[in-house]
A and B are shown apart, each in its own frame.
Chain A
């Protein structure tokens, strides 16, 4: 789970990487709960942590209590720190109370936090114990979303990796199946499902599933397309179950999506002509949708502060398809395996940076005066006040941005900051 630098991939032909450490202006992995709890509809996320953890999630979520959320925090108190036995008893009591209130929960994640990791509260044993107690009604799993181990989207990686052992095994004789890995908005899943059906690729399953009982079978005939670049541990866990990854660009923009689909088409031996016939209308539609934002974005420089690990594929998309000029592409962690295809296509002259020293990076950003800064919510208003134009990075994670029919929307997210500046007369 700890990011460790792997030297696999293509260091030789890739851009030089600036590695920094210092203050990081990023969320921890607990934040992933904000979208995961909506994705898996019968799952509940119980953070075992401190008041800070509870405060973080509600602040990051902007407090959207319109429906009762499927997450909560078991806040540790002084007496829980005194002895681990007591902490475990307390946890059992909290889980009992929770399941009593929410009998609809089929899958409960105990989510580790910085304090639970530091006091070495063993949540995997707790999950086993509680699973045994509440079976068959509720299955209990665990993962860590702690800031000392995970950055923002790595929380989803840790969650999905914990879900992999729950998948039934598909034996070696099973028909080849395609597995799309990474939480996607329902509408995007449906679009991809239709495209794969048109291409004659299938059966197709999505991971995570919308319901915890629908986890697809995994085996040596499983082929994976990875939808999100931050899923390193999940992919390794799936590979350990025999699944094979189809290397591809990530499905952002017309080019990225085409490349991604092509990887599956090749694995299923879809004839080139058929592939083009099916994909061309969608691809054209995506290109048309991009044209309008391109008028705004073409030639503009862009500077990414690290946030979600989506930065390298987004920079590739913005450079190749919209003519933007990335100055710095910051990412919390550079996953060279999953980004192998992306790294080949990053524009020359861009500075890739991994990790963060926020003050030094702000110095570089002010010095470069980019036309657009992609950054987190803590930095956006201060940079706007300094006269820079910004785009909140969190929106890139919280909006449907994958695939042909979202390519225009994705570009528009970047163009909107300029559009606003141009209409305002205050």
Chain B
């Protein structure tokens, strides 16, 4: 058993719902008790979808358990087919139905419905949402785009052609990323064959093989399917995720290498304002801002690269809840001289942020709440996200426009350059002080909660040093405190005086 306050991912059947809801012409029959329909509101409320997810729940109750829950399933599946007339159906069990072992696969087969029915095995007690989405997509791709023995090899067309894989319902900015990536591909002269799962029908999936290569936007969702397509149809996979200026260039270069296209003109994209925004002198103050990053693996790794290479931040913490992709995150962290935090435990993440005292947190909606409590600026970079992270405006994370968006949204929560200097110069102004928060943001941040980080090994602070510490702006105060304590410990000092504070400052400045 795992004690959980908040969870980053739902159960695997919610992942399956994300695929079904993203697609058209597919219906999902889920063997599940009353209450599991809560998942509908993720789509209708958080993502503001205007239609119900295409999911039928069997809704069994305690009194059915002694009786015939299997019959309930069969009725629900039959009725769902008749009512919604889908091109294809998927069937599966939620956590409780898994325990009663009704075998939706066999029951669905017995119904002999006139459309393909794909049975999903979604082990709720081992796996989670993203795994469920990846598995569902993989099973659908296998079913609809099989290897046809003896079929002639596909002749390359006049222009290169690709599929875009991985965008789902309830994904973080998936809608806009697809638009931006399609625009990029069009400028490169690459045709898009199928985009899936978002907006695809089962018959679209049947055309997947008719492309030269696959672009995987979200490995958490589409990596398994892309590997299968690679093995089965010999399609190459573009794995660079184009989040950030440099990754977008790498993405273009990877496609150019596969297709032989000359990408020079696209690489000098005039839309790419982010590099100049970052190099302009106004952005000097961004240098070395301490940032903590946590999210799904794809977005966390991408954010670490953008933060360190393209904005000049110092990444002080990097982690993910995506265990399946922990290796990638560990490698990215190692490059930055860090140890990755791999956990699904929100309390561990909170602990890490509170200890590291970053000036900016890039995370999910959970980290936004943590940051708010600690009085630290935050931008959301990854699912799970809340309703305000599904904006009406076009706001991709990918491509050159995505890089522009990243610059704007990550810089916004920070105290701005000159303001930072003023705060440092006049620390005791009653209206304009660091507890008041960045002045361009609405009235707000409560004084940051002091981290409950007791001085390490019996070192105490003199009253004067403690008072001096409060004159240091809050966003570097935590670092100053830790440095002073580390310095005192190294020097064998029992009490930290004002001089110790400045000695430590000069010591670590070297």
Residue positions of A touching B, CB distance < 8 A: 2, 21-31, 48, 50-52, 54-56, 58-60, 62-63, 65-66, 68-69, 72-78, 80-81, 87, 90-91, 93-94, 97-98, 114-115, 117-119, 146-149, 151, 359, 376-382, 384-385
Q: Is the CB of A379 within 8 A of B124?
A: no
Contact with A along B65-86 (1 / 0, CB 8 A): 1000000000010010001000
Contacts of A384 in B (CB 8 A): 50
A114 contacts across to B, CB distance below 8 A: 33, 35, 95-96
- Which among A27, A59, A91, A151 has the greatest number of chain B C-beta atoms within 10 A? A59
Does B33 contact A146, Cβ atoms closer than 8 Å? yes
A55 to B51, CA, bound (A): 22
Nearest CB to that of A89 among chain B residues? B1
> Are A51 and B124 in contact, CB atoms less than 8 angstroms apart?
yes
The residues in B between 10 and 59 inclusive whose CB is less than 8 angstroms from any CB of A are 10-11, 13-14, 33-42, 44-45, 48-52, 56-59
B126 within 8 A of partner (CB): yes
Q: Which residue of A lies closest to B60 (CB)?
A: A148
Q: Check B33–A65 contact: CB distance below 8 A.
A: no
- Listed A/B pairs (26) with beta-carbon separation below 8 Å: A2-B61, A26-B37, A27-B38, A50-B124, A56-B35, A59-B38, A60-B38, A62-B386, A65-B6, A65-B366, A68-B5, A73-B3, A73-B4, A80-B125, A87-B1, A115-B96, A147-B33, A147-B34, A147-B35, A147-B36, A151-B34, A376-B41, A379-B44, A379-B52, A381-B50, A382-B52
Question: Which residues of B are at the interface with A, using a C-beta cutoff of 8 A?
Answer: 1-7, 9-11, 13-14, 33-42, 44-45, 48-52, 56-65, 76, 79, 83, 94-96, 99-100, 123-126, 128, 365-366, 369-370, 372-373, 386
* CB-based contact A378/B11 at 8 Å: no
CB distance from B265 to the nearest CB of A (A): 40
A21 nearest CB neighbor, chain B only: B59
* Min CB gap A72→B, angstroms: 5
Q: Output the least CB separation between A5 and chain B (Å).
A: 12
B1 engages A76 (CB within 8 Å): yes
Q: Which residues of A contact B38 (CB under 8 A)?
A: 27-28, 31, 55-56, 59-60, 378
CA A55 to CA B17, docked complex, whole Å: 14
- Kindly report which residue of chain A lies nearest to residue B96, judged by CB atoms: A114
CB distance from A365 to the nearest CB of B (A): 13
In contact, A74 and B60 (Cβ under 8 angstroms): no
* List of B residues within 8 angstroms of A56 by Cβ: 35-36, 38
Q: Which residues of B contact A118 (CB under 8 A)?
A: 65, 96, 99-100
Q: A75-B1, A80-B1, A382-B52 are in contact. List 19 more A-B contacts (CB 8 A).
A: A22-B76, A23-B37, A24-B34, A29-B35, A51-B7, A52-B13, A54-B4, A54-B7, A60-B38, A63-B369, A76-B125, A91-B1, A97-B3, A114-B33, A146-B35, A146-B62, A148-B34, A380-B45, A385-B51
Tell which of B35, B49, B56, B369 touches A26, judged by Cβ atoms closer than 8 Å: B35
B1→A27 contact, CB < 8 A? no
Question: With a CB–CB cut-off of 8 A, which chain B residues contact A50?
Answer: 11, 95-96, 124-125
Asked whether A77 and B65 contact (CB < 8 A) given A55-B11, A379-B44, the answer is: no
B65 pairs with A378, CB closer than 8 A: no
Q: Is the CB of A75 within 8 A of B2?
A: yes
Contact B44 A77 (CB under 8 A): no
Write the nearest CB–CB distance from B140 to chain A, whole angstroms.
Answer: 22
Give the distance to chain B from A366, nearest Cβ to Cβ, in Å: 13
Q: In the complex, what distance in Å separates the CA atom of A80 from the CA atom of B5?
A: 19
Q: From residue A26, how far is it (CB to closest CB) to chain B in Å?
A: 6
List chain A residues, Cβ under 8 A from B63: 2
Q: How many Å lie between the Cα of A378 and that of B48 in the bound state?
A: 10
Chain A positions within 8 Å of B9 at CB level: 51
A-B residue pair count with CB separations less than 8 angstroms: 193
Residue of A nearest to B30 (CB): A23
Q: How far is the CA of A55 from the CA of B57 in the complex (A)?
A: 17
B14/A55 in contact, CB under 8 A = yes
In the complex, what distance in Å separates the CA atom of A376 from the CA atom of B40? 10
CB distance from A58 to the nearest CB of B (A): 6
CB B382 to nearest CB in A, in angstroms, measures 15
B62 adjacent to A2 (CB under 8 Å):
yes
Verify A25–B128 contact, CB threshold 8 A: no
Nearest-Cβ distance from residue B221 to partner chain A, whole angstroms: 18
Tell whether, in the assembled complex, residue A59 and residue B124 are in contact, meaning their CB atoms are under 8 Å apart.
no
Question: How near does chain A come to B103, taking the closest CB pair, in angstroms?
Answer: 16
The CA of A51 and the CA of B79, in the complex, are separated in Å by: 29
Cα distance A151–B7 when bound, in Å? 23
User: What residue in chain B is nearest A118 (Cβ atoms)?
Assistant: B99
Q: A77-B2, A115-B95 are in contact. Are A381 and B61 (CB under 8 A)?
A: no
Among candidates A30, A59, A77, residue contacting B126 with C-beta atoms closer than 8 Å: A77
**A116 CB → nearest B CB, Å:** 10
- Min CB gap A424→B, angstroms: 15
CA distance A118 to B101 in the complex (A): 11
* Residue in chain B with minimal CB distance to A359: B83
Task: Find out whether the CB atom of B57 lies under 8 angstroms from the CB atom of A23.
Answer: yes
Interchain residue pairs A-B with the least CB separation, the first 9? A28-B35, A147-B35, A378-B40, A385-B50, A114-B96, A65-B369, A50-B95, A377-B41, A147-B34
Of the candidates A24, A72, A74, A119, the one whose C-beta lies within 8 Å of that of B99 is A119
Collect the chain A residues with CB atoms within 8 Å of residue B44's CB.
377-382
Whether B52 lies near A51 (C-beta < 8 A) is no
**A388 CA / B67 CA spacing, docked (Å):** 39
Q: Please tell me if the beta carbons of B10 and A52 are within 8 angstroms of each other in the complex.
A: yes
Q: Of B2, B37, B52, which contacts A24 at CB under 8 A?
A: B37
Chain B, residue nearest A77 (CB):
B125
Taken together as a complex, chains A and B put the C-alpha atoms of A384 and B48 apart, in Å, by 11
Instruction: List the B side residues contacting A30 at CB < 8 Å.
Output: 35
Q: Nearest chain B CB to A319's CB is how many angstroms away?
A: 29
Given contacts A74-B1, A378-B44, A381-B49, contact A23 B95 (CB under 8 A): no
Minimum CB–CB distance from A96 to chain B (whole Å) comes to 10
Is the pair A52, B11 in contact by a Cβ cutoff of 8 Å?
yes
Chain A: minimal CB distance from B73 (Å): 12
A418 to chain B: closest CB distance in Å?
20
* Complex alpha-carbon distance, A81 and B40, angstroms: 28
Chain B residues in 8 Å Cβ range of A98: 3
A77 to B: closest C-beta gap in Å: 5
Q: A51-B124, A52-B36, A379-B52 are in contact. Are A149 and B59 (CB under 8 A)?
A: no
A27 close to B6 (CB less than 8 A)? no
A382 touches B51 (CB 8 A): yes
Whether the Cβ atoms of B48 and A52 lie closer than 8 Å is no
Q: Indicate if the CB atoms of A72 and B33 lie closer than 8 Å.
A: no
Interfacial chain A residues near B14, Cβ < 8 Å:
52, 55
- Expressed in whole angstroms, the minimum distance between the Cβ of A99 and any Cβ of chain B is 11
Contacts A22-B59, A52-B95, A78-B126 given; does A28 touch B7 at CB 8 Å: no
CA distance A51 to B95 in the complex (A): 8
CB of B34 within 8 A of CB of A72, answer: no
Chain B residues, Cβ within 8 Å of A25: 37, 40
